Amino acid sequence: MSDKLGRQRTLVATASNLAVEFEADTDLGLTFDFDKSQNLVPDMDRIATVDTIVAGNGYSLGPGGSPKEIICTSTSAGSGTGAKFKVTTRAAAGNLKPTSSVKNTAAFDSYQNNLTVNENIGASAFVYARINATNIGFTGTTSAVAGTSATGSSGTFLVQFSNGAVVGATVSAAGNGYLVGDVVTLTAANLQTGIGAGHTVQSDLTLLLTEDNVLGGLNTVTVLEGGQGHAINDTLTLTEEGSGITGTGTVDVATLSGSVSTPGNNVMYPSAFLATGATGTAPYDVQYMDSSGNTQVFGGIVAGRYYRVGFKQVLSAGTTVADGELQIYYDGEF
């Protein structure tokens, strides 16, 4: 191969793996006897591309609500299994992340700190939240208290108090319409109801939402691993790896990959590739021409893993694996 993939070179052939000399930007079809072609046809049931992206909710956002690149797997996949995707997220329905911790605003912290100082020096008898019968600061946790912002509604929060001061708040119900950076207000009346009868709260409580609190949706989706057993028009629900939340975004399977050889056709094309000992900054991209002549990008590649995808050519432009570090395979058996 040339350019980014190096000079023409010979790849090792074994009994189950067929690999040949190849160059970038050239047709990689191999001619076999009719019987060999029949025996080497893999199932064309691996996802190559997806379309009809529905953003949904339940995915991480970056700092300040910016897009974030994540890895997702499918939790409902028709008859298929094992697919994996690279996703870029975006702000979506604005649901809150259940059980996530929410910070007080700096203005509220300053206000309640002054109340505590004034109580300590005798300038005031009361801290932020008190028991009416004794005027002692309240310690405990509220029931779910509604909190709204300029755009968000229906979210609820559990607020923790210690000696009359707010020391923490967590999301109880997700609500909708919230944005990273929103100031959420919990009214004094609602807080008093959440604490219970016989208590007084001196003012509204304000909380600040961060990217740890607000969930995003799907924006762009690229296939990393095609899995197996899939069918065109399968609708897949994607869930972020490492997240305790099941995402609600979906994609539809647009095309499938596999060798373009069929019984009776003695031309066979590659069905997989491997980055061997790749150097530089991972993950890598391989840009290729699919069986229909369309240019595709297979992203998220790491060294030492086989990637099953059918292709006619490996394209030098857009392929980031370094010189001499890509092998191609024809039968999909590794």
The confidence band for 331, taking pLDDT boundaries of 50, 70 and 90, is low
Residue 263 pLDDT:
47
The answer to the question of residue 1 being in a domain is: yes
Q: Which residues are CB-contacts of 140 (< 8 A; sequence separation ≥ 6)?
A: 160, 161, 195
The answer to the question of residue 158 being in a domain is: yes
Domain range holding 299? 1-42+258-334
CA distance 231 to 247: 22
Single-letter amino acid code for the residue at 280: G
Higher pLDDT, 328 or 277: 328
pLDDT surpassing 80 at residue 1: no
The answer to the question of residue 178 being in a domain is: yes
In three-state secondary structure terms, 169 is: strand
The confidence band for 79, taking pLDDT boundaries of 50, 70 and 90, is confident
The answer to the question of residue 267 being in a domain is: yes
pLDDT surpassing 60 at residue 78: yes
Average pLDDT, the chain: 84
> What is the CB neighbour count within 10 angstroms for residue 278?
20
Residue 323 pLDDT:
67
Residues 126 and 34 occupy one common structural domain:
no
Full DSSP string of 4-64: GG-S-B-----SS-----B-TTS---EE--HHHHHHT-----EEEEEEEEE--S-B---GG
Final residue before a domain boundary, out of 208, 242, 268: 208
Mean of pLDDT values over 11-35:
56
Residue 214 pLDDT:
97
CA distance 164 to 150: 28
Number of domains in the chain: 2
The answer to the question of residue 331 being in a domain is: yes
CA distance 139 to 112: 15
Residues 202 and 108 occupy one common structural domain:
yes
CA distance 287 to 304: 18
Residues 110 and 201 occupy one common structural domain:
yes
Tell me the HSE value of 200 on the side-chain side, using a 13 A CA sphere: 10
Residues 128 and 197 occupy one common structural domain:
yes
The answer to the question of residue 314 being in a domain is: yes
Residues 271 and 197 occupy one common structural domain:
no
Express each pLDDT in 248-260 by its tens digit: 999 999 998 864 4
Residue 20 pLDDT:
43
In three-state secondary structure terms, 83 is: strand
In three-state secondary structure terms, 6 is: coil
The confidence band for 7, taking pLDDT boundaries of 50, 70 and 90, is very low
The answer to the question of residue 220 being in a domain is: no
